[in-house]
């Protein structure tokens, strides 16, 4: 399935025109806005959506909105603020980032959601095309413990599969976060859903070393996730991986 086929299916969805209209109206109010992920994916799968996630770089905001962001700016986060709006009863979140929106989209946790609409049209990353073609979810970056549950939610909602090595790696990574102070909600989820992975096994030691070295709640992503995924795939070919569970 070529990229153009996927994009045409999104544009032919009955609700796509609504997304375009909302983006244009809010761009006039706030500055150059980009729609990405969520609702565009729902247009492809012909699912109902109840909000439209929009993104804007701080430098592209109109001056009056820069002042509001400055008053409410988040500390130690690339997401500076979330502006709330509503059009025709449709809830709108406008996420203000301190770098380019393109860079933010590259850091989406699930690659198939790297689809966006801006003033130049509708676009998608090559990996998003590959994942939609193969009906799978590949993990792009790890933005926090919530990624584990976002992947499960997407798999159920869109009837997509998750590659074994990705899922196994994510489970192992989650299970090594004992040194991170999780909120009570995530701590409870971890106790209920995360099976113990043996840190004495080779992969356990490898994953633990990555989480210990790279997991930092002030950062948005795990820089070496793709390399770690490739190492995991090789490892799983060499052993009966179920014995490490």
Query: Do 160 and 178 have their domain in common?
Result: yes
CATH number at 94 reads: 3.30.460.10
Query: Do 143 and 101 have their domain in common?
Result: no
The per-residue b/e assignment along 43-82, b for 16 or more CB within 10 angstroms, e otherwise, is: bbeeeebeebbbbbbbebbeeebbeebeeeeeeeebebbe
Query: Do 65 and 88 have their domain in common?
Result: yes
* Total domain count, the chain: 2
The per-residue b/e assignment along 86-122, b for 16 or more CB within 10 angstroms, e otherwise, is: eeeeeebebbbbbeebeebbebbbbbbbbbbbbeeeb
Per residue in 120-146, pLDDT (tens digit) is 999 999 999 999 999 999 888 776 667
pTM greater than the 0.85 cutoff: no
Query: Do 34 and 126 have their domain in common?
Result: yes
Query: Do 123 and 11 have their domain in common?
Result: yes
Task: Specify the DSSP class assigned to residue 139.
Answer: B
Domain that holds residue 95: 3-134
User: Is pLDDT at 36 greater than 50 in this prediction?
Assistant: yes
Phi, psi of 6 (to 5 degrees): -65, -45
pLDDT of residue 2: 84
Query: Do 54 and 168 have their domain in common?
Result: no
Query: Do 72 and 154 have their domain in common?
Result: no
Query: Do 127 and 140 have their domain in common?
Result: no
Q: Tell me the mean pLDDT in the region 34-61.
A: 91
Query: Do 165 and 228 have their domain in common?
Result: yes
221 — pLDDT class (breaks 50, 70, 90) = very low
């Amino acid at each position: 399935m070529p990229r153009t086929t996927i994009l045409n299916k999104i544009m032919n969805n009955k609700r796509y025109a609504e997304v375009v209209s909302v983006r244009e109206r809010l761009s006039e109010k706030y500055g150059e806005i980009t729609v990405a992920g969520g609702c565009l994916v729902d247009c492809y799968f012909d699912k109902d959506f109840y909000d439209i996630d929009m993104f804007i770089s701080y430098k592209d905001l109109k001056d009056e909105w820069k002042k509001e962001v400055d008053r409410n700016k988040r500390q130690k986060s690339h997401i500076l603020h979330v502006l709330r709006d509503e059009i025709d009863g449709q809830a709108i979140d406008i996420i203000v980032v301190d770098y380019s929106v393109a860079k933010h989209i590259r850091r989406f946790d699930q690659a198939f959601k790297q689809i966006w609409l801006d003033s130049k049209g509708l676009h998608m990353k090559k990996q998003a095309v590959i994942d939609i073609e193969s009906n799978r979810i590949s993990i792009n970056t790890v933005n926090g413990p919530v990624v584990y549950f976002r992947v499960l939610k997407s798999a159920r909602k869109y009837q997509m599969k998750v590659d074994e090595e990705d899922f196994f790696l994510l489970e192992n990574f989650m299970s090594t976060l004992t040194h991170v102070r999780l909120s009570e909600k995530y701590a409870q989820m971890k106790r209920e859903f995360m099976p113990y992975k043996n840190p004495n096994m080779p992969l356990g030691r490898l994953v633990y070393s990555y989480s210990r070295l790279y997991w930092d709640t002030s950062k948005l992503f795990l820089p070496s996730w793709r390399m770690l995924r490739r190492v995991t795939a090789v490892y799983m070919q060499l052993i009966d991986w179920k014995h490490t569970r």
